[in-house]
Structure 1
Amino acid sequence: MLETYGVDLGKEIIYSARGGVIEAVTSSPRSLEGGRATFVIMNETHHWIAANQGHDMAMTIAGNVGKSRGGGARTVEITNAPLPGEDSVAERSWQAWSKISEGKSRDSGVYYDSVEAPPIDLSDPDQLRAGIIAARGDAIWLDVDWIISTIYSGHMPRSQSQRMFLNQLVTAEDQLIAPEDWDARAVDEELVRGDEITLGFDGGRRDDATALVAVRVRDRLAQPLGIWERPDGPAGDGWEVDRQAVDDAVRSAMARYRVSAFFADTALWESYVDAWSEDFRDELLVKGAPHSAVGRDMRGGLQELTAANERLVSAIENGQLRHVGDGSPLGKTLRRHVLNARRRPNRFGLSFGKESRESARKVDAYAALLLADLARRRLLESGRRHAPERKGTVYFF
């Protein structure tokens, strides 16, 4: 092979008589700009963060590859599972792929492949061994016994052991819902026409997402009925949520299901909430607020919303709330919003919020779920219910 291609081996640069060059690069992004690489291996991108110019390096590489002659240039990221909340290049890539899989972003040709261990009990040596073997794939040279002894030595946090040796996306320290708790509640089931439900709505306009979520009254099955987000990239320039589409989704839900309560955050959607209250007040059994059949302003009532959040978190952790699985794009988007939610303690208890005020990681679908679940609780407390839908054959004599 060396003779065929005329390869001249070097420690940092390898030349080929056919004109190719392989170069190890650790330079600054500015010094690399303009190079027209045809193939770039980006190693350990879970360490590429803003503080070490990792973001700038990734953007420079993307620009260089895009300018390669003849097209067909590629990049490959080789990485461990990223640390949630660190905003590494690996985490950004995972977030981008998640949106593509949800149908929220245009497919740019990304291929995502992750070999990771399933959820296991790290305290069980047999489960741990099986998890390590599953995560190592064909890297059979890894010493499983040595890895087990390293994990049990107590020299590293549990979360780091999960990322390094099991390749699992672990929970951020302030994450509201653990991925394993949410995923364990997924069911292969959907709402059917005529189900008695409660609705929750959280609306945005341009930057924030807009979400409509239903919870079935009899068994607390949650299902998103619509989630609208600004697209990434140029498609998002000047984007604004299609309010007519949202209104249509609300009215379709009212027609398809027996909606007993509907709590909608009023911010930015006052006129629509007023219209929904006027049009559906006779069908709803519980009011969102004393002055509105639907409106429930999330900017007030901190104590009630905090208690509702604590009940919802407990229901997810204890398996009392189930949800439509992530086999559908809407289910995947709801999962992303739920896992984006962060713990926000206040004087009344545990509430929730975004990672930061300006964070692009949305939680609006979780807010809509919270309102739908709160509406269900208020309905049950009221003792009022819609009569069961009549089924069967009617005979006339």
Structure 2
Amino acid sequence: MPWRGPQYAGEVPTLGWQVLGWMIDMLAAPDRAEYEPFTPTQEQADFILGFYELDPATGKRRYRRGLLSRPRGWGKSPLLAAISCAEALGPVVPDGWDADGEPVGMPWERVRTPLVQIAAVSEDQTKNTWTPLLEMLRLGPVMDAYPGLEPLDSFVNLPRGRMEQVTSSATSRKGNKGVFAVLDQTEEWTVSNGGRRLAQVLRSNATKIGGTTLESPNAFIPGMGSVAEESAAFAQAVVDGRTRGDGLLWDHREAPAETDLTDRESLVAGLRYAYGDSSDHPDGCVLHDPPCPPGWSPIDHIAASFWDTSNDPQVQRSDFLNQITHASDSWITQPEWAGVAAADKVVAEDEEIVLGFDGSRRRSHGVTDATALVGCRVRDGHLFLLGCWEQPDGLFGRDWQVPTVEVLAAVEEAFRRYRVVGMYADPAKWESHVATWEAKHGRRLKVKATMQHPIEWWMTGGRASLIVRALEKFRSSVVDGELTHDGSSVLTRHVLNSRRRESRSGIQIAKEHPESPRKIDAAVAAVLAWQCRVDALAKGLGKKKAARSGRVVVLR
């Protein structure tokens, strides 16, 4: 085998090694003047090894779904075509273990008649994968090895089964039991073009028979509600523990957030990272040691396109740096927020901090807003999430209520553990609790919202000008790099969910629409904490560094 793959050697059982061997033996590399065997790069091989990983306890495929997100020209289409061919004919179904304890695979036809589908929202999109697929079959040894194989222009007859393109409505696909489906360019699959429904049907059909699906988006634009965006939300929910679902192999890589489009060295470095093994840079790839040899993606040529004034910089970022940037009405962009992440910073116990709080209560309909508590170290403006209580997705969130006792305990723990010199809280629906905090802690606070109400800081009502100024201070501090944050996935998600909304007083923030399940409450709590820190600095606090160091304690 030409791949190193040390992370899989003897550690994780996978059918990937057999699948890779089958691809090399059976398939032709597409778009070649003469026959060459299809040989995945190291990076592509690593994905195959992961996609065909097995659960050691059950011996079954670990992933129901896969998502491979890379920039344009990376080589997704040939890889997807090769995987589709393997699913149609190769050893992709677990069949126990051999005498050495290694997993064994068998073709689908030994279990059921295979149907493999290449799906997109337009015929042109299906050709991305379909065209190289036909070349791989027609020019490869697979034609001799599988009598009865007929790669026709619009479909492929298998010795037993079929491969087909799918561009029709989702309803016409219902009941077609595909063992595998490619969902191509899902950043463009939306409700309006039927993509969301088509994705649901294809996944359901595969799930019924133990099959799999594989998405291949470029970077999506947040707020469009695309299939790729929904998959990203599911992946994040798994990471955050907001769902019991799993079974998704999420493989997205983008250029670093600090990639500077105006600096050639920085831009080339970002492109080399995004393109990985396919980069044609003479120094080889940046992913492996020793580096893989140069690939086919013209990095210098792509870099030059960024300075063509007729090209939209945001489209360039999405297409070639694979950066998930922002919706047109985003308040803070992903690169801006990622640029001030500092996960390695620690906040010691007994350090001087301020708190921001945004609460919620159960709603009679829709998804209940989240409740969030955010801390900010006064001396350097480092934000860290102390707690966020969110309604779980799906059935597990039915009849959910904010765990008030847990929230109150988290607030008290913050006051016990740190030197809290100020706290700003939006009291909406939490008026009695905010009043209790003021009575208990108000006298010790060095920063007070008002003398009468030291903690109460309304984010609604007749305080529009104050709210606008607080939001602008926060955003400018992000853009100018004056604050840092702990990299919390929850806080990041809430900040990036926030949308700009014009008011008579200036820019405010809101959810994309009032009933949206994409919450922003942790972002609001962060703004309150930052405003409290600004007021603390105005009083001369935060000039002395804490004497002790420790670790961030996140309360749940």
Superposed pair shares fold, TM > 0.5:
yes
Among 362, 367, 389, the alignment partner of 2:524 is 367
Question: What SS is found at the alignment partner of 2:325?
Answer: coil
Residue of structure 2 equivalent to 1:352 = 509
Instruction: Within 5 Å, give how 1:93-104 maps onto structure 2.
Output: 93-104=231-242
Deviation sequence 1:158-182 (CA, Å, 0-9, x none): 1111111221112333222222222
What amino acid does structure 1 have at the position aligned with 2:312? Answer: P
Quickly say closer, same or farther: Cα 1:388–1:336, change in 2 above 3 A: closer
Instruction: Say if 2:331 is the partner of 1:169.
Output: no
Quickly say closer, same or farther: Cα 1:203–1:132, change in 2 above 3 A: same
Q: Distance in 1 between matches of 2:358 and 2:200?
A: 34
The alpha-carbon deviation at position 235 of structure 1 amounts to 0.8
Question: What SS is found at the alignment partner of 1:51?
Answer: coil
The alpha-carbon deviation at position 322 of structure 1 amounts to 1.7
Q: Distance in 2 between matches of 1:131 and 1:269?
A: 46
8 Å Cα contact 1:230/1:236 also seen in 2: yes
Instruction: Within 5 Å, give how 1:188-203 maps onto structure 2.
Output: 188-203=344-359
Residue of structure 2 equivalent to 1:209 = 370
Instruction: Within 5 Å, give how 1:261-300 maps onto structure 2.
Output: 261-300=422-461
The alpha-carbon deviation at position 193 of structure 1 amounts to 1.2
Instruction: Say if 2:308 is the partner of 1:153.
Output: yes
Q: Distance in 2 between matches of 1:240 and 1:11?
A: 55
Residue of structure 2 equivalent to 1:29 = 170
8 Å Cα contact 2:379/2:544 also seen in 1: no
Among 442, 460, 471, the alignment partner of 1:309 is 471
What amino acid does structure 1 have at the position aligned with 2:437? Answer: W
8 Å Cα contact 2:378/2:541 also seen in 1: no
Q: Distance in 2 between matches of 1:250 and 1:367?
A: 17
8 Å Cα contact 2:224/2:327 also seen in 1: no
Q: Which moved further from structure 2: 207-216 or 260-269?
A: 260-269
Question: What SS is found at the alignment partner of 1:112?
Answer: strand
Alignment coverage as a number of residue pairs: 382
Q: Distance in 1 between matches of 2:165 and 2:546?
A: 69
8 Å Cα contact 1:115/1:137 also seen in 2: no
Among 201, 208, 212, the alignment partner of 1:60 is 201
Question: What SS is found at the alignment partner of 1:272?
Answer: helix
The alpha-carbon deviation at position 149 of structure 1 amounts to 4.5
Q: Distance in 2 between matches of 1:256 and 1:386?
A: 20
The normalised TM-score by structure 2 is 0.65
Q: Distance in 2 between matches of 1:22 and 1:386?
A: 68
Quickly say closer, same or farther: Cα 1:285–1:31, change in 2 above 3 A: same
Q: Which moved further from structure 2: 137-146 or 174-183?
A: 137-146
The alpha-carbon deviation at position 388 of structure 1 amounts to 9.2
The alpha-carbon deviation at position 145 of structure 1 amounts to 4.4
Instruction: Within 5 Å, give how 1:75-224 maps onto structure 2.
Output: 75-118=213-256, 119-139=258-278, 140-187=295-342, 188-206=344-362, 207-224=368-385
CA RMSD of aligned residues (A): 2.3
The alpha-carbon deviation at position 383 of structure 1 amounts to 5.4
Quickly say closer, same or farther: Cα 1:256–1:9, change in 2 above 3 A: same
Quickly say closer, same or farther: Cα 1:243–1:165, change in 2 above 3 A: same
Quickly say closer, same or farther: Cα 1:192–1:384, change in 2 above 3 A: closer
The alpha-carbon deviation at position 382 of structure 1 amounts to 4.4
What amino acid does structure 1 have at the position aligned with 2:154? Answer: E
Residue of structure 1 equivalent to 2:405 = 244
The alpha-carbon deviation at position 147 of structure 1 amounts to 3.0
Residue of structure 1 equivalent to 2:483 = 321
Q: Distance in 1 between matches of 2:166 and 2:416?
A: 60
8 Å Cα contact 2:183/2:214 also seen in 1: yes
The share of aligned pairs that are identical, in percent, is 36
Q: Distance in 1 between matches of 2:175 and 2:302?
A: 42
The alpha-carbon deviation at position 96 of structure 1 amounts to 1.7
Q: Distance in 2 between matches of 1:53 and 1:115?
A: 27
Unaligned runs of 5+ in 2: 1-141, 279-294, 363-367, 549-556
Residue of structure 1 equivalent to 2:192 = 51
What amino acid does structure 1 have at the position aligned with 2:371? Answer: T
Question: What SS is found at the alignment partner of 1:376?
Answer: helix
Deviation sequence 1:64-102 (CA, Å, 0-9, x none): 11211xx2x111001111122211111111122122223
The alpha-carbon deviation at position 286 of structure 1 amounts to 3.3
What amino acid does structure 2 have at the position aligned with 1:76? Answer: L
The alpha-carbon deviation at position 146 of structure 1 amounts to 4.1
Question: What SS is found at the alignment partner of 1:42?
Answer: strand
Unaligned runs of 5+ in 1: 392-397
Q: Distance in 2 between matches of 1:115 and 1:192?
A: 33
Q: Distance in 2 between matches of 1:110 and 1:347?
A: 45
Deviation sequence 1:36-78 (CA, Å, 0-9, x none): 111111001011011101111111112211211xx2x111001
Quickly say closer, same or farther: Cα 1:386–1:269, change in 2 above 3 A: farther
Residue of structure 2 equivalent to 1:260 = 421
8 Å Cα contact 2:379/2:545 also seen in 1: no
Q: Distance in 2 between matches of 1:390 and 1:315?
A: 26
The alpha-carbon deviation at position 384 of structure 1 amounts to 7.2
The alpha-carbon deviation at position 284 of structure 1 amounts to 2.0
8 Å Cα contact 1:117/1:132 also seen in 2: yes
Quickly say closer, same or farther: Cα 1:54–1:253, change in 2 above 3 A: same
Question: What SS is found at the alignment partner of 1:198?
Answer: strand
Q: Which moved further from structure 2: 211-220 or 289-298?
A: 289-298
Instruction: Say if 2:392 is the partner of 1:231.
Output: yes
Q: Which moved further from structure 2: 261-270 or 380-389?
A: 380-389
